[in-house]
Amino acid sequence: MPLPRDEIEKGLAEELSTLSALVRPLTSEELATPTRCDGWSVGDVAAHVAGSMADILAGNFDGLGTPEVTQREVDQRKGRSGTELADELDAVNAGSQQLLTAFDDEAWDAEAPAGLAASVGSGVEALWYDAFLHGDDIRHALGRPSVSSEAVRASVSHIAAILTDQGWSPTTLELDGIERFEVSGGGGQMITGDAMEFVLVGTGRADPTTIGLDETVNIYR
């Protein structure tokens, strides 16, 4: 189950706003900085987030999230300045808030369009996670520290759901500063420690052995 609807809607709006503020003042040199996302610069990462949101608002669901579509989103925005990328992030943020008001609770719990997620709510939580994680990719590339926010909870929630879908063994996540999350019904092994470190490990951005796990915890493996 994703986090409560009001938290997800607020979280996505705040995360896109935070990402816009992060990207807006960046110089062309900073936008060209390589990131830990293979082959992508800082500007490419921001372009992907803006492009994914723009595709969703336009109803372009075919292939969403595949390498081909994500690369198309990036290519369409090549050469844009920080201001231009931030302006689009602000525009898709406003559009997403307006769109979400059209969903009643029944629609929120229904399957996401094109089968992209188990529910609309889960899909929106995934967008929140994606914006947060890519914001961290940008900070990492620029030598800036990670920023703690409620999005860490959304990220752990999302990763737990994906691991469950992938058939990971029953696991209980008792991570610092957030509530318990369960993988595959919970029980089994217990994982403790820093929640942000778990997010980085669970997305292939940090060495899983640092928290006693192996590469199967990487949801992108």
The DSSP result for 78-129, as a single string, is TT--HHHHHHHHHHHHHHHHHHHTT--HHHHHSPPGGG-SSSHHHHHHHHHH
Phi, psi of 6 (to 5 degrees): -65, -35
The Cα 213–Cα 148 span in angstroms is: 23
Q: Could you tell me the fold of the domain covering 151-217?
A: Nonspecific Lipid-transfer Protein; Chain A (3.30.1050)
Q: Could you tell me the fold of the domain covering 5-141?
A: Four Helix Bundle (Hemerythrin (Met), subunit A) (1.20.120)
pLDDT for residue 176: 96
Query: Residue ranges per domain, the chain?
Result: 5-141, 151-217
- Asked whether 20 and 131 are in contact (CB, 8 A), the reply is no
- Asked whether 50 and 81 are in contact (CB, 8 A), the reply is no
Phi, psi of 190 (to 5 degrees): -115, 130
The Cα 128–Cα 116 span in angstroms is: 15
Phi, psi of 65 (to 5 degrees): 90, -10
pLDDT for residue 127: 97
Per-residue pLDDT of the chain (221 residues; tens, 9 = 90+): 899 999 999 999 999 999 999 999 999 999 999 999 999 999 999 999 999 999 999 999 999 989 999 999 999 999 999 999 999 999 999 999 999 999 999 999 999 987 888 899 999 999 999 999 999 999 999 999 999 899 999 999 999 999 999 999 999 999 999 999 999 999 999 999 999 999 999 999 999 999 999 999 999 98
pTM: 0.96
Phi, psi of 175 (to 5 degrees): -90, 155
